[in-house]
Chain A
Amino acid sequence: MATRKKKATEVTGKVVMRPLSLVRWVQHPNPLRLLTLDESHGAWGGGPLPDAHGAILRVIPPADATDESIGAVLDRCRALGVATTKLMPRAAGDVAVVAEVARAQRRTHREVVDALVQGAEGVDHDALALVVGAIMDEEGL
């Protein structure tokens, strides 16, 4: 696709082209505004919202925003009379460095079942262990 990138001349008022042709741009009245309430906006701290009446508002919550705080900001936006809001994913937060956790030691089926037997309440643990042990023997576990 387009690899040749160079900013086009910004349009300001009248432009005289060669040979002496006149070019003007006429702006349309009241085009729909497209606004963004990004993660750094003061509204997330309870500050005022931008004038977004009639606009399409894209909302990007900060990484630590709770569902409740996002809902509250969206309610305030709707009360302003926006055309619609588009909720984007939370902004990416800082990367957490997590210490390597020792991999849990693998246990055998018998060890898992024995632990469950010993943790069972209201039973004779020894009797239950005998019954369950016999079953596991039959199953080759």
Chain B
Amino acid sequence: MKILVTSDWHLDAVTSGVARFDEVARAVEHCIETAQQERVDYWFFLGDLCDPDAQRAPRCAAFAIQTAWRLAQLGIPSRWLAGNHDVIEDGSGSSTLAPLVAAAEAMPLRVPMGSTGVLEAVRVFERPEVVRLGSGVSLIALPFVPRCAAYDPAEFVRSVHLDPDSRAVVVAGHLNVAGITPGSEADEFARGRDVWLPIDAIRERWPDAIVMNGHYHGASVAPGDVLIPGSPARFTHGEAGNSPGCMIVEVP
């Protein structure tokens, strides 16, 4: 199973007066081309589409919907996690991905998936969940959530019951990772509170799990073998040395 992972689009970002939407949109287009060339089985977005109070938020949500529908038409199911910039702290538990949720519910699309039949084309995780990705692979989604829906990620991980035929586990999150040097996400892009990825609990239960996490703008492999895809653009001068792109993960 091959997964393209992208994250931290921050489509509302403005750097020194320059709006970054068009550049990020081009980078996402490059991700879509890469997904086609690589014949990926899934597209993962690991959070931070845009801030909900940004003037451009509706345009950003529309872009996410367009991207998800394009992927569906290419036969690539997409999975979207909410990040700390996406959540709306008004007690509703909603996020900037809510329009995508509504669109997916209003126009449910399916994509074929090998011998397992069909899969829902678009799925958004605004709460922690466990789902099957097909062919014995389970996804544990650990999104960032608003305070009204707060959960304990370690407790959630310990409570997970996998299907008996699960042979591989993929953990995808948008949380803080212990041991990683904070970048702009801790200063110019700071938002929300600290919620830590429970890497010890994850490794305790599934030592071989593939763990990936958004939130950080520089691509890296963080302590605990946590894969960080990074942002599709450099948003601050502190990120001048980053190599923006996306990540391809092959699950055995």
Contact = CB atoms under 8 A, between A and B. Distances in A.
Nearest to B15: A56
A21 B250 contact: yes
Contact of B222 (A9, A24, A56): A9
Contacts of B180: 2, 6, 8
Contact of B18 (A20, A24, A83): A83
Contacts, number: 127
Contact of B225 (A2, A10, A18, A28): A18
- Interface size bracket, A side: 35 or more
B179 A33 contact: no
A7 B26 CA distance: 30
Contacts of A135: none
Contacts of B247: 23-26
Nearest to A18: B208
Contacts of A58: 16, 237
Interface in B123-154: none
A16 to B, nearest CB: 10
A86 B14 CA distance: 13
A92 interface: no
A33 B218 CA distance: 15
Contacts of B110: none
Given A22-B250, A25-B219, A25-B243, A8 B228 contact: yes
Interface in A54-102: 56, 58, 83-86
A34 B194 contact: no
Interface string B197-227: 0000000000110100000101111110101
Nearest to A5: B181
Nearest to B222: A8
B181 A24 contact: no
Interface string A32-58: 111110000000000000000000101
Given A17-B210, A25-B247, A31 B234 contact: yes
A30 to B, nearest CB: 8
Given A23-B248, A35-B240, A7 B181 contact: yes
B182 A26 contact: no
Contacts of B252: 19-21
A83 B22 CA distance: 14
Nearest to B241: A34
A29 interface: yes
A21 B251 contact: yes
Nearest to B193: A1
Contact of B232 (A9, A10, A23, A28): A28
A134 B245 CA distance: 85
Contacts of B190: 1
Contacts of B34: 26
A28 B240 contact: no
A138 B178 CA distance: 78
Contact of A6 (B216, B223, B228, B236): B223
Nearest to A29: B30
A36 B237 contact: yes
B111 interface: no
B221 A8 contact: yes
B194 A2 contact: yes
Which 6 pairs from chain A and chain B are nearest by CB? A8-B220, A86-B16, A27-B245, A9-B221, A6-B179, A34-B240
18 contacts: A1-B194, A2-B186, A5-B181, A6-B180, A8-B223, A11-B219, A11-B220, A19-B208, A21-B252, A22-B249, A23-B248, A25-B243, A25-B248, A26-B30, A28-B30, A28-B245, A34-B240, A56-B18
